[in-house]
Structure 1
Amino acid sequence: MTKKYISSEDYRQMLVRDGDRRFQEWHSQYLHYQKQYLNQQLKERKVN
């Protein structure tokens, strides 16, 4: 099996896309936890 040559620009674009994907995963999780936290705070204020 021969290895396909990837130009530095193609490699850079792959890294950028992977970075964007990882950031979106992290950001989605962050927003989910933030929403949970805010809902918890709201419930605690209603109890008090």
Structure 2
Amino acid sequence: MSKKYIPSEEYRQMLVRDGDRRFQEWHSRFLDYQRAYREDMNKRRSA
């Protein structure tokens, strides 16, 4: 079985896409957390 080498530009694009995907996952979790935090703070203020 011979190794197939990926051209560096193609590899860079794969890394960029993976980074974008990971950032989107993190960012959506962060926004959910932020929204829940703000809702909680509003409840505490109005109570």
Relative to the length of structure 2, the TM-score reads 0.91
Gaps of 5+ in 2: none
Gaps of 5+ in 1: none
Name the structure 1 match of 2:28. 28
For residues 12-48 of structure 1, give each alpha carbon's deviation from its aligned partner in whole angstroms, at most 9, with x where no partner exists. Answer: 000000000010011001000000000000100110x
Distance 2:36 2:15 in 1: 32
How far residue 5 of structure 1 moved from its aligned partner, in angstroms, is: 1.7
Name the structure 2 match of 1:9. 9
Relative to the length of structure 1, the TM-score reads 0.90
Number of equivalences: 47
Percent identity, please: 66
Distance 2:19 2:5 in 1: 22
